[in-house]
Each structure stands twice: as structure tokens, then as C-alpha cells.
Amino acid sequence: MINCSRIKKYGNKFKIILENARVTFISRWSRRAEKSSREKGAAMPKKTIQTFQVEWLQILDEHGNCDETLRPSLSDKEIQKLYEWMVLTRTLDEKAFKLQREGRLGTYASILGQEAAQVGSAFALQPSDWMFPSFREAGASILRGLPPRMILQYWSGDERGSQIPEGQNDFPITIPVGTQIPIAAGAAWAAKLRGDRIAVMTYLGDGATSKGDFHEGLNFAGVFSLPVVFLCQNNQWAISVPLSRQTRSKTLAQKAIAYGFDGIQVDGNDVFAVYKAAKEALEKARAGHGPTLIECLTYRIGDHTTADDASRYRKAEEVEAWRKKDPIDRLKKYMANKGLWNEAYHQQVATAAREKVEAAVKEEEAIPLPDPKDIFRYTFGELPEELKQQMENFLRGDGRPDL
Amino acid sequence: MINCSRIKKYGNKFKIILENARVTFISRWSRRAEKSSREKGAAMPKKTIQTFQVEWLQILDEHGNCDETLRPSLSDKEIQKLYEWMVLTRTLDEKAFKLQREGRLGTYASILGQEAAQVGSAFALQPSDWMFPSFREAGASILRGLPPRMILQYWSGDERGSQIPEGQNDFPITIPVGTQIPIAAGAAWAAKLRGDRIAVMTYLGDGATSKGDFHEGLNFAGVFSLPVVFLCQNNQWAISVPLSRQTRSKTLAQKAIAYGFDGIQVDGNDVFAVYKAAKEALEKARAGHGPTLIECLTYRIGDHTTADDASRYRKAEEVEAWRKKDPIDRLKKYMANKGLWNEAYHQQVATAAREKVEAAVKEEEAIPLPDPKDIFRYTFGELPEELKQQMENFLRGDGRPDL
Amino acid sequence: MAKLTMVEAINLALKQEMERDPAVVVLGEDVGKSGGVFRVTQGLFERFGDGRVVDTPLSESAIVGVSIGMAAYGFRPVAEIQFEGFVYGAMEQLISHASRIRTRSRGRYHCPLVVRMPYGGGIRAPEHHSESNEALLVHTPGLKVVAPSTPYEAKGLLVSAVRDPDPVIFMEPKRVYRAIKEEVPEEEYSIPLGQCRIATEGKDVTLIAWGAMLQPTLKAAALMGERGIGSEVIDLRTLSPLDDDTIIESVKKTKRAVIIHEAPRTCGLGAELIARINEKALLYLEAPVERVTGFDTVMPLPKLEQHYLPNAERVVEAIDRVLSF
Amino acid sequence: MAKLTMVEAINLALKQEMERDPAVVVLGEDVGKSGGVFRVTQGLFERFGDGRVVDTPLSESAIVGVSIGMAAYGFRPVAEIQFEGFVYGAMEQLISHASRIRTRSRGRYHCPLVVRMPYGGGIRAPEHHSESNEALLVHTPGLKVVAPSTPYEAKGLLVSAVRDPDPVIFMEPKRVYRAIKEEVPEEEYSIPLGQCRIATEGKDVTLIAWGAMLQPTLKAAALMGERGIGSEVIDLRTLSPLDDDTIIESVKKTKRAVIIHEAPRTCGLGAELIARINEKALLYLEAPVERVTGFDTVMPLPKLEQHYLPNAERVVEAIDRVLSF
Ligand SMILES: Cc1ncc(C[n+]2csc(CCOP(=O)(O)OP(=O)(O)O)c2C)c(N)n1
Ligand SMILES: Cc1ncc(C[n+]2csc(CCOP(=O)(O)OP(=O)(O)O)c2C)c(N)n1
Ligand SMILES: [Mg+2]
Ligand SMILES: [Mg+2]
């Protein structure tokens, strides 16, 4: 029997209020049964054999207040780097959105509001670590080294945007939700078998936690104690499906209990908390102590993709409330207090970001169309005879795919 | 962050010893980090937002000692019924095994040792409830009303053994592990939508908990608060794969935490505990209070199936240790103490069981071979033209499946 | 009579069937409040409520799995797989259960389930959003597979699918969703499963297509018509079970055939059609039956997809080949 | 040279490949200590240890999924699906990832993965233990599919599969596992993928089969031989990519063909073979190509399975039909 004591979380981490309702199996569905068993004198009908707690980490609140005792040790330069990556991410994101609206880009999945979750976590990765994104990780990907041009190239419908540069140990975007999870576990397993002291990080959304692949991937990671970190960006929506329709569990972090390893919920708009949790989990993985599930509680400020219109299914007020928790804003406030941010610095960062993004757009738009041969070329290491024939007929333009 | 306080369970439920090792994320992989954060004065770096306990229920121990305060209210007659069903189940099981060895039956999956888990749980079902078995539920199925003859018929390779009698709300055996779980959830959903105050029970093994279907089925059940009970017979083996290779979680019951509903671990060889947990969970389901996961901790005494030889992968001592916890034996001891059992009664029960089983064998072996037309007949409600053609050609014996 | 898009026609069929039969429920990802990513279920949530139009957690396998259980209990679920490229996760439930529960239980249970899914390319969508895998489903005994080509067809076929006592995979050509409008009666009508439609009659060549491929096929037929060549265009409609008779009769008349599909060529449904023509009309053939299909490669992303998808020009070339053989 | 069963031949190939290349690892349900439910991996666990021969949790999808990750990282996993009837759960990982990672990443990653699975009927097994679904996999671009027919073939083809840089589905005819023994060299040899084998030469009819169907086909050929009819039996060996040249050449010679497979008829691989013969050798045909196959029904349980599976008699009847057409 599992009893849940729920503790309500209010915006500020210091205001934690214990709900008095100890929700037990019996009390919830049959107070009578409980009472009668009490009358019989059976004070505790069943024996507790395991207890679990789910913890929450927030370091930098939405007003920029920071719990310095918890703050990860980062140099001023590093804090500025975090800020700069977040600004670059947002600049690229906004540009991609605009390009799509102008018809210069295909469907695009914005990460607006999720910059801290992506930058904070990817910043904790080593180049030798491996990363398996879902489809909404532009921020993490460019931090890992992907030329921003390739983000645009991918979303413009060109596979070459998925040709991750040699040396960058990242997988391309995965569209089928959650299916990257067992693959990431497999890479972690390979690293472990090889004795490589690296970690693997894979990104997933709240929606992905409903898919069998999530379960199976985390289960394998637990059983084989694999060096992998499951970074869940709980942005509270899966297209139009709210979190409450995705799971009845109060947190996603607690799902780790099913697999016998650690889970933690962090404020996903707090770049320090994300970075700290990710760093600890990655170090633990590299040291051979197994997997971790990190739930970054955040919010998808934009539509699901440029093909979506979220106003049909969610309230503007909800979005507004979350805008106030903006991850860049709060870091800025913190930095300003610390003397690490001023308008001139910001201008310089913003300009650099804009220039980088504009250069990426130019670069991408100058790329000639892909060679149609590419449709065939990469199907196998060596083209089988029949496929070679299909390609040759196609190139001869006689429209005859075979023969 | 999830902290696990493990509490060791010893044979006797009264001897519960708290392990002193509070296993936390930090302590396990980086004592240094914890220490330094303590030095900084951060006594509790992360806030606990949820706590969970997993409970264990045992009423009748392996020596036949019973905790009467916990015992479900059952009449003497009902207790005898439980015993009789368990004896019949074992008698049928032993006969099926022998028939297979004599070449009179196909592959058969024995339930030796799991009689209490099946009889205790199925005994709590109402006829109006629905039941979705896996492939090892002969005991539960006959209790539900399936003529024992049909068990033999199925395992002799005749689909008519799966033609559940009208009025018995059970699904046929499901071979692909775990795949019955979402289907059971769907039936529960349908019942809920209809407003029928019934419950659904589905059986699954420890191995099944690794499959995506388990996760997805339980997740749906949680989200929609469905009237379904997931009855897991944790017999600690999935063919040759031990529980430790199936999951790193200490219990299977705790997996319910991931779905926001109740889980409980019970002594699966204790028919009272199984019955009590099942009854409570079913009542809760019928009352509209959602799903429950029940883990029955038991043991597969026999080989996986008659096609398996378990001596290749597990120790005889392990099997012997579990034989001592025999579910029928302990109920017998209890009943003898209560004056509900004596040798004469037992002879009568055993004879009746033997006669029933022998009759079932006779009956089954007298059934003529199935009509080959049956291969086609049930593919669709109405045979499409092309299939009718295939059937007719086949019956004409010109070996021409089509045309 | 109103001119409707295919999206509107399907929506209308769903609405009317739900009104007619309280056992019909709609479930899937985003089918509720949002009305579906293509708006096919728009308005149903408001009309029938959360009990009958249900947004589910993200899991194709469970969507099909729970639907099987609901169907066994007496409902007629209409499940949506958001894109056909995500149906693979549900293959086990479809192949091992939906298609088999009737025969496994020797008729005690059956599975009146419709699985709707948008399929096919041509809308410049990301990877996995343009697949055409009808052959996988047609190869599965116990499933029916339907692919409408126009709004009128879609409504009539969906009505039959919903009323069918067995699982029907309803493949919606997303490229057609809003591309054409057609008069669609508000009144109830249905188009029986298992029968092809002769879209245009002709005596020189038989063109067989379904779903979104009807449009380029008809265009090719029109181009050939300008050159005096009569094409008999067959809209397959039901991909399983196949309506051999209509096809064979047409091929016996025209003596030449071209099959057009988006899916990869090898082991596509085109192969089965050729096999049946071979078996039943070999001596009538004046030329090998031609296939105009996708390549045996992964469907490319938008920048290359036009090279992959059959178009009228490729169909015309194939017709020229069968005529000049 | 030792006479080995197919089980022993595959076991030997695995052992030798694991010795040769430390990147080869074996994983799946019950492949370790137990040595596999068919004993195909027997002794490997003892020899190579738990790091290279790994019992996994029960999940076909994850077995393939983690294998893809391992392959990308530089391993050569040989994954076992315990029975082909349980591969459906792994379809998404196979179709959406294993087959695509090379083309998706434009060559940055690839997937040298072998998925072994016993397939086919005839061993009186429970439901789902007798399936033959090669067509689903052949229809998937980016996968190679192999089905050996004898112990010698199995060893040589498995060696090639393990060394192949791309995912190979290795379908093992479980009915043959212990049914025949054959001399199998201890020494290293390999049989290239993508080439059929002419099992017996003949001039009157071409019989095409693979896996367990070779045996009834050869028996039928022998029976026809007694009547003076020469059968050219082609063992397809690699089901994808197909070796058209050998097939077409044979059919051009014999002018008649019969294809034998266990899988359901509609959209089976037989259809594709007919389509290719139609396309490349139509004018040579003296009779429609015949298919001797399973029905378009679920594979029955043991008491009826002999009616479903093609046998020598049915092949003989089909040969008679193509000869007398
Ligand atoms: C298997 C699968 N089913 C459906 C889809 C369509 N789809 C794309 S994204 C998405 C929602 C994903 O939600 P979540 O995991 O929370 O990620 P987010 O979009 O919020 O980043 C859906 C249903 C898909 N890509 N894959
Ligand atoms: C999807 C699937 N994979 C593999 C198998 C083969 N198989 C049959 S039973 C079994 C083990 C099941 O273990 P568990 O769930 O613990 O049930 P138990 O046999 O112990 O009752 C396996 C692997 C199967 N039937 N289905
Ligand atoms: Mg989300
Ligand atoms: Mg078990």
C-alpha cells in the first residue's frame, strides 16, 4: 500500500506548506473500513517496508533571489556564459519563428521559456559525453556545438541539418516521442562496457513519460546501472494535452521510484538549479553510480509548433503567469545585483547573438538544394544493386524507379 | 531527489528491522559534496515535497499462524472453499504436467506454488466483474467458471479452449507478455463510461512489469481513475531471468507510485492476504475510487513451461526454500488448528478434485478434431469474398489457397 | 448540397455516427479540446463532452489497446493515430490482438474498432509525418484497411467503417484533407467496404490508385485523354479485403495496367495487385503491369520529397511504356 | 568436418564472431545462463561472460532500442527476439530508428545490428510462436532481411550479417533448427548477402522458397523428378535486398514459376517476386506464377496448423497447374 503525503509547493521555495490530508488508500475510499479496523484494535494493519521522498530544488527564484548556500560554484565568467547562451538561444528561437511566419522555414518547435532547462543542463555536459535530444532542444544543441545554421537547415526540411559534426557526440533530432530514450540507454551501456568514464544525457518532455519507451529505457538503465541522465523538460503541455491528462502522479520525478534510482524535481526556469542537478547527476553517472531522472518544471510559453494555435486549448492567464517566471529575466536580476550585468553588457550580448543568428540565416539560405541522389545514398553503407538501379533510373529521369 | 529508507523484511512479519542506512542520492555517490554543503550551513539542501510508503501484508504465515485481527471475514465454509479451489487447481496442474510428459498435451505452463495468489484473488471477484488473464492463470480461470476441460483443450492446441462460455466475463489467455494490460484498462474504462459498478482484474507476471504495455496501461488507469486491479504474481522468474534482472526496484508494488495510485505488496502464498488485498482493491474500484496494483510475492516452483528445464539456471536450494512456504500447506495447518480440516475431509476433497480432473481429461480427449473451416470462419464477422474463395479452394483440396 | 473538404466530411461523419449510436467514442492525442492537429474532430468535444471525445496520454499502443478493451465491452471506439508514422508503436496491439480476438475466442469476442490515421506525403512535414505503410496492415489477417480519395468517399466509407463489426484501419490522405472540395450530402449514406470505384472509364489502360494518388492519376488520365488514350481509373478505396473482380475485369478489357502508390515499392500493395492480375488475367496482358511508387528509401524531408512522390508526369511515362511495350 | 544442426551452426558462428571481434555482444531474453529457449546461445555466457552475453528485461522494443545505441557507440550487437511473433513491439525502433539512423544523419551514424529471430510454424507451438512476417520487414527501407535454410547456410550468412555495417534481420526457421544435420566447416567462411542460391538445377519450372519452406519444396522437386520434370529450386537466402538477376534468369529459362511461403498470402513476399517476374520476364511466362502460401487468416494452433502450412503435396499440385496451364 502506498500512502502519499502531499506537500504543496508555492512559488517561493521557503513557503512550503504541509497539507494536512494524509492520503491513504483506506481513508480515500472507505473511511468506514478504516474505522472498523481501528475499532478492532489493529492500529496499523499493514507494515511499511519502503519509504520514499521526492525533493524539489530551487536556487534562484523568479525575483532573482538566490540561495547562495545552494548555488553551484560557478565563476563570474561562467555565469555570464550561461546568460549569453540563453540569450543566443532565445534570439535564434525568435528568428526561427519569424522565418517560419515569412515562409522561409518549415514547421518549427519553439523553446521559448525553456532556455534555462536546456542551457543549464547542456552546460554541465563534457564534450566527451553523449547527448540524445528530442525535437525541442535547439538551445542544448547549439551549446553542444551544433552550428545554428544546422538548426535552421533541419527545420527547413533538409536532412543535412541532422549531419551532426564529427566530434560532437550528439544524435540528431528524434521525432517519435520518447523513442530516443532506450537508444540513449544503449549508448550509456556501451560506454560502460568500454570502460569510458563518460555520461549520456537524453532530453524528453512530459508527454514522453507516457510512452512505453520511457518505461523500458529507464528500466534498463536501472537494471544495468547505466551512466545516463534523463532530463525531462516538464513544460506542462504535450501539444494540447495538459500534464494532468498525461499522468496522475504529482511529480514526474517520482516515476524514478519505479526503477529503483534517483529522481529530483527542479525549478526548470532556474538555471542554477538545473545546472546543479545536472552536474551532480552527470558526475554520479561518470563515477559509475547509475542513472538519474531530473524533472525540470518549466512551461512552454509558445504554441506547440508554428503549426499550432495554443489559444484554442489554454488560457492566456496561465501563459502570463509563467512569463513572470522567465528564466533569462531572473538570471539578469541576479547578475545585476552582483554587478555582472548592465545595459552595455546586455547590448553587447544581444548584438553578438543577433549577428550570429543573422549570419546563420544567411549561411543557411545560401546553401544549394540537396543533391537528389542523397535520397538513396545513405540508405546503406553500400548501395545494393536494386537500389543503385532505382537511383540510376531516377537520375536518367525516365520516372522508372526500378528495372 | 528520492531517498529510500529500506526496511528489511524477514520471514515473520513481526520481525521488521529498520536498516539504518538512509540511502540518499548524495550520500551514495558523493559524500564529499554533502559534507561541504553541510559545512556551508545548508542543513537540508533540497526540500521534500512528496513522501511515499510501500506496505506489506501477510496474515497467514508459513507455519499456519494467523493474525486474526487482520483476517478477512470469511465463513468456515468460505475458508474451506478456498482450500478446495486450491486443491483442485493443483490437481489439475499436476495432471496437465503428466499429460504433457505422456505426449497427450502440448506445452503447458504450470502454476505450482502460485495457487493462493490465483485462488485468493479470483475468489474476490464478482461474476459481473471482468477478468483478463495472462497465460498462467489456470487456477483463477476455473474458479471463474471455465470448465477445466477447456484448459486442457487450449494447451492441446485447440482454439476452442479459448471460447470462453457466454456469461463468463473473461478474456482468453494472452501470450504476448503484458499486452493484456491496456486492454483490461480499456474494458474498465468502458464499464466506467457505462456506469456499471463492476471492476476489472488483470493478471500479470514480474516479467511483464518491464514491458511498455504495463506502463502505458497503468498510466491510463491512473489518469482516468479506472476501476481496474492489476494483480501481479511476482513469482520471481521470467523464464530464466531473475527478478533482479527485471528491475532494480526493491518491490514491484512501488511502481504504482509512478502512476499516482496505490500499490501494495502481499505475501502471495498467503491466501488470506491475497484475498483481503484483492477484495479491498476491487471494492475500491467498484466504488469509483480508481486502480490498485497488487504485488503477490510468490514463487514459480516448476519449470517455466514443460518446454523448459529450470535446473540450468537456478539452484535447487532456492526452490526447496520456497516449497516450505507452500500456500496449501499453510492453509491446511490453519484449518486443522481451527478444526476445519482433518484427514477424512482432505480425502474427500482430494478425491472430488481427482474425479473432476479425470472427467475433464476424458471429456477433452473425446472431443473430435476441430473443423478445418474454423481456420477461416472467425477471421471476420462475415467472410469477405476472397477469404471465402480461399476456404472453398482449400476444402475442395486442390491446394490452391486463392483464385 | 454543401461543398466540403475531406476534413469537414470526416468530421460530419463522426458527428452523425456519434449522434446515431451512443456506443461510438472518439479517443486519441489532441482530439478533444484542440479538435485534432488537422481539426478533423473539431467541435465534437464541445458537442459530446469529455466522456465521448477523449484526449489521451501520449501512447499509440495504449490508445489501440484500451480501444480493444472498450470494443470488447460493447463500445465502438474511433481511435486516432496522429500520424501514420507513429502507428508502429501500436503494431503489437493491432496485429496480436485487434485483428485476432474474434478468431482467438472463436467468436466470443470481437473488435468493432476504427483506427483513423492521416497518411502520406506532400505537405512539407517533418520526418515520420509523411509515411504510407498500408502494406503492413494489408498483410495482417483480420484487419480491414480503407483509404478514401475524396470528401464524398471519406464520409461514406467512414460510416461503413464505424458500423463494421471488425477492426478497420482508416487511412486518411492528409494531402487531400483541404485540397479539394466536393458536394457531400448531409443525409446519411454509406459506401460498402470491399468494393472499388471506377473513377473514370476507359478502354486503353487501367490505372489503379488510392488516397492522395488519385489526383495525379486522374491528371495523368486527363493528359492521356488529350492524346486520345482512354484510361480506366480505379479508386481502390478498400485496400483489404481487395475487390479483385472489378480490377480483373478492367484489366481484361484494357489489357494494360499501371499501379500508383506512395509507399516504398518493394512489398508494397502494388506487388499484390500485380500478383493477382498475374494469377487471374495473365493471358490478357499486352505489357507488364507498371508500378509508379516511392523508392525503396526512407521518405525524404520536404526539400527532396517532390522527387519521391509519384506525380502525373511519372504516371504518364508509365502509361506510355505499357502502351508502347 | 562435423555434421551440425542449424542450432549448432548458428552457435558456432556466434562464438567465432565473438572471438574475432570484441565489439560483438549478444543480448536478449534468456540468451545468457539458460542459453536461449532453443539453446542457440548455449555456452556463450560461460565463455564470454555477463558483459558480452546479456539477459535483458522483458522488452523487445528496448532490446532493439538499446542495441541501436550500442551500435552507434561502436558495438556490433546481436539481439535476439525470442520468437518472431513478439517482434511487433520492436517495430517502432526497427522502422523509425535502426533502419534510418544512417540516412537521417547523412552517414554520421550507422547501425551495425543483427536481430536474430526464430520464425515459422510446424513445431506445434502456442499462439504467436509460429509467425512468418518477413514481408513487414522487407517492406522497410534500410533493413536487410536474411533467412537461411540449412545449417551450412546459416553459419555463412550469419557471419556476413554480423560483419555488415547495417541492420540485418536474421530470421531462423525454427522448424529446421534440429531437423537436419549437415557438414559445416569449423573454419571461417561467409556467404555474401544479396545473392540467391540455386539449390537444384532444372529446366521445366522454377521453385522459389526460403527458410523452412526449402524442405517441402525440395521434396516436391524430387517427386516431380520421378515423373521426369526438372525443377530449378531457388533458395532465396536474402529476402532484402532481392537478387533479381538469378530469379529472372531462371524464370526465363524455365518459363514457369511457383513461389512457396508460410506467411499469409496477401502482400507477402511472394507478391513482390511475382511483380518482379512480371516486370522483367513477362513475355517468357507460359503460365501464371503460382503461390503456395499460408492463408489470409491467423496461423492456427497446433491442431489445425498442418492445414495452413504449405507442404510438398501442395507444391506438387501447383507445379502441375503451371505445367498444364
Ligand atoms: C510517438 C509519437 N506520437 C505522436 C507524436 C506527435 N507529437 C509531436 S510532439 C507531441 C507532444 C510531445 O509532448 P512532450 O513530450 O511534452 O514534449 P513537448 O512538445 O512539450 O516538448 C506529439 C503528440 C509524435 N511525434 N510521436
Ligand atoms: C512480448 C513477449 N516476449 C517474450 C515472450 C516469451 N515469454 C513467454 S513467458 C515469458 C516470461 C514471462 O515472465 P513473467 O511475466 O514473470 O510471467 P511468468 O512466466 O513468471 O508467469 C517470456 C519471456 C512472450 N510471450 N511475449
Ligand atoms: Mg511537454
Ligand atoms: Mg514471473
Give the torsion through C-alpha atoms of D46, D48, D49, D54, to 10 deg: -100
Q: Are residues C14 and C143 in the same domain?
A: yes
Give the least confident one: A336-340, A399-403, B110-114, C186-190: A399-403
Q: Are residues D163 and D17 in the same domain?
A: yes
**Reported confidence tier of residue B225, pLDDT bands at 50, 70, 90:** very high
Closest of B321, B152, B155 to residue B236, by C-alpha: B321
Pick the last residue of a domain from C156, C183, C210: C183
pLDDT tens-place string over residues D58-86: 999 999 999 999 999 999 999 999 999 99
Under 8 Å between Cβ of D259 and D209: yes
Decide: residue A143, CB within 10 A, 0-12 exposed, 13-18 middle, 19+ buried: buried
Instruction: Give the count of beta carbons closer than 10 Å to the beta carbon of residue C22.
Output: 13
Hey, is the C-beta of A308 within 8 angstroms of any chain C C-beta? yes
Q: Who among A13, A69, A255 is closest to B41 (CB)?
A: A69
DSSP state letter for A198: -
Q: Are residues C73 and C175 in the same domain?
A: yes
**Is D153 within a domain?**
yes
Ligand 2 atom with the shortest distance to the CA of D58: 23
**From ligand 4's centre to the CA of C87, what distance in Å?**
29
A3: β partners: B53
Give the torsion through C-alpha atoms of B275, B281, B282, B286, to 10 deg: 160
As a whole number of angstroms, the distance between CA B278 and CA A131 comes to 44
D209: β partners: D235
User: What three-state secondary structure class fits D309?
Assistant: coil
Q: State the residue range of the domain holding D232.
A: 197-324
Rg of the Cα atoms in chain B: 24
| Residue predicted with more confidence, A46 or D244 | D244
CB–CB contact D297 B107 (8 Å): no
Ranges in chain C, pLDDT < 50 = none
B56: β partners: A47, B265
CATH number at residue C83: 3.40.50.970
As a whole number of angstroms, the distance between CA B127 and CA B111 comes to 23
Give the torsion through C-alpha atoms of A370, A376, A380, A382, to 10 deg: -100
**From ligand 4's centre to the CA of B243, what distance in Å?**
8
Q: Are residues C17 and C80 in the same domain?
A: yes
As a whole number of angstroms, the distance between CA D277 and CA D208 comes to 12
What nine digits make up the cell of C31?
482530439
Q: List, as ranges, residues 216-275 from D with C-beta within 8 Å of A.
A: 241-245
CB–CB contact A162 D61 (8 Å): no
Determine the pLDDT at residue A399: 60
**Is C191 within a domain?**
no
As a whole number of angstroms, the distance between CA B183 and CA C58 comes to 16
Instruction: Give the count of beta carbons closer than 10 Å to the beta carbon of residue A244.
Output: 9
pLDDT tens-place string over residues A160-208: 999 999 999 999 999 999 999 999 999 999 999 999 999 999 999 999 9
Determine the pLDDT at residue B24: 27
DSSP state letter for A295: E
Range D105-110 average pLDDT: 98
pLDDT tens-place string over residues A199-209: 999 999 999 99
Q: Which of B239, B245, B298, B305 for a ligand 2 pocket mutation test, highest count of atoms within 8 Å of Cβ?
A: B239
Closest of C232, C223, C226 to residue C204, by C-alpha: C232
DSSP state letter for D114: E
Q: Are residues D136 and D101 in the same domain?
A: yes
Q: Which CATH class is domain B109-147+155-325?
A: alpha beta
Q: List, as ranges, residues 126-165 from A with C-beta within 8 Å of D.
A: 130, 132, 159-160, 162-164
Range A215-226 average pLDDT: 98
Range D121-125 average pLDDT: 94
**Is C188 within a domain?**
no
- What's this model's pTM, rounded to 2 decimal places? 0.95
CATH number at residue D227: 3.40.50.920
pLDDT tens-place string over residues B379-389: 999 999 999 99
Q: Are residues C30 and C150 in the same domain?
A: yes
**From ligand 4's centre to the CA of B245, what distance in Å?**
12
pLDDT tens-place string over residues B51-72: 999 999 999 999 999 999 999 9
Question: Look-up: residue for cell 548524495?
Answer: B26
Alpha helices in B198-288 (DSSP H): 212-223, 243-246, 271-286
Q: Are residues C133 and C157 in the same domain?
A: yes
DSSP labels for C2-37?
Answer: -EE-HHHHHHHHHHHHHHH-TTEEEEETT-STT--T
**Residues 6 or more apart from A266 whose CB is under 8 A from it?**
A56, A57, A58, A273, A274, A276, A277, A294, A295, A296, A297
Under 8 Å between Cβ of B236 and B205: no
Alpha carbon separation from B202 to B122, B137, B139, B218, B278 (Å, rounded):
10, 10, 14, 11, 11
* Preceding omega of D57 cis (within 30 degrees of 0): no
Determine the pLDDT at residue A22: 25
Which chain A residue shows the shortest CA-CA distance from B288?
Answer: A29
pLDDT tens-place string over residues D139-177: 999 999 999 999 999 999 999 999 999 999 999 999 999
With beta carbons under 8 A apart, name residues in chain D contacting B313: 33-34
**Chain D nearest CA to C137, separation (Å):** 9
Q: Is the dihedral of CA D176, D178, D180, D183 positive or negative?
A: positive
DSSP labels for D115-183?
Answer: EEEEE-S-S---TTSS---HHHHHTSTT-EEE---SHHHHHHHHHHHHH-SS-EEEEEETTTTTT--EE
Q: Are residues C41 and C167 in the same domain?
A: yes
Q: Are residues C127 and C17 in the same domain?
A: yes
Ligand 2: residues with CB < 6 A are B 136, 175-177, 205-208, 235, 237-239, 300, 304; D 29, 58, 60, 82, 86, 89
Determine the pLDDT at residue A9: 36
User: What three-state secondary structure class fits D206?
Assistant: strand
pLDDT tens-place string over residues B277-319: 999 999 999 999 999 999 999 999 999 999 999 999 999 999 9
Instruction: Give the count of beta carbons closer than 10 Å to the beta carbon of residue C162.
Output: 25
As a whole number of angstroms, the distance between CA A229 and CA A276 comes to 13
Q: Are residues C81 and C112 in the same domain?
A: yes
Q: Are residues C143 and C74 in the same domain?
A: yes
**From ligand 1's centre to the CA of A207, what distance in Å?**
6
Range A299-327 average pLDDT: 97
Q: Are residues C109 and C222 in the same domain?
A: no
Pick the last residue of a domain from D153, D183, D213: D183
Domains: count for chain C? 2
What proportion of chain A, given as a percentage, has pLDDT over 70? 87
**Reported confidence tier of residue A396, pLDDT bands at 50, 70, 90:** confident
Q: Taking 80 as the threshold, does the pLDDT of residue A116 lie above it?
A: yes
**Reported confidence tier of residue D1, pLDDT bands at 50, 70, 90:** confident
**Chain D nearest CA to B207, separation (Å):** 6
What proportion of chain A, given as a percentage, has pLDDT over 90? 86
Q: Which ligand is nearest to the CA of D86?
A: 2
Q: How far is CA C127 from the centre of its chain?
A: 20
Number of H helices, E strands in chain D: 12, 14
As a whole number of angstroms, the distance between CA B103 and CA A120 comes to 65
Q: Who among B1, B29, B53 is closest to A50 (CB)?
A: B53
Hey, is the C-beta of C128 within 8 angstroms of any chain A C-beta? yes
**Reported confidence tier of residue B46, pLDDT bands at 50, 70, 90:** confident
**Is C260 within a domain?**
yes
What nine digits make up the cell of D64?
532493439
As a whole number of angstroms, the distance between CA B176 and CA B45 comes to 46
Under 8 Å between Cβ of D66 and A291: no
Determine whether A313 is an active site residue.
yes
As a whole number of angstroms, the distance between CA B146 and CA B129 comes to 15
Ramachandran category for residue C30: left, alpha or beta (phi over 0 → left; psi -120 to 50 → alpha): left
As a whole number of angstroms, the distance between CA C268 and CA D272 comes to 8
Determine the pLDDT at residue A45: 56
**Is D60 within a domain?**
yes
What is the three-state SS of C130-196?
Answer: CCCCHHHHHCCCCCEEECCCCHHHHHHHHHHHHHCCCCEEEEEECCCCCCCCEECCCCCCCCCCCCC
**Is D190 within a domain?**
no
Hey, is the C-beta of D303 within 8 angstroms of any chain B C-beta? yes
Domain boundaries, chain A: 109-147+155-325
Range B143-163 average pLDDT: 98
Hey, is the C-beta of C81 within 8 angstroms of any chain A C-beta? no
> What angle do the packed helices A271-286 and A115-122 form, to 10 degrees?
30
Q: Taking 90 as the threshold, does the pLDDT of residue B205 lie above it?
A: yes
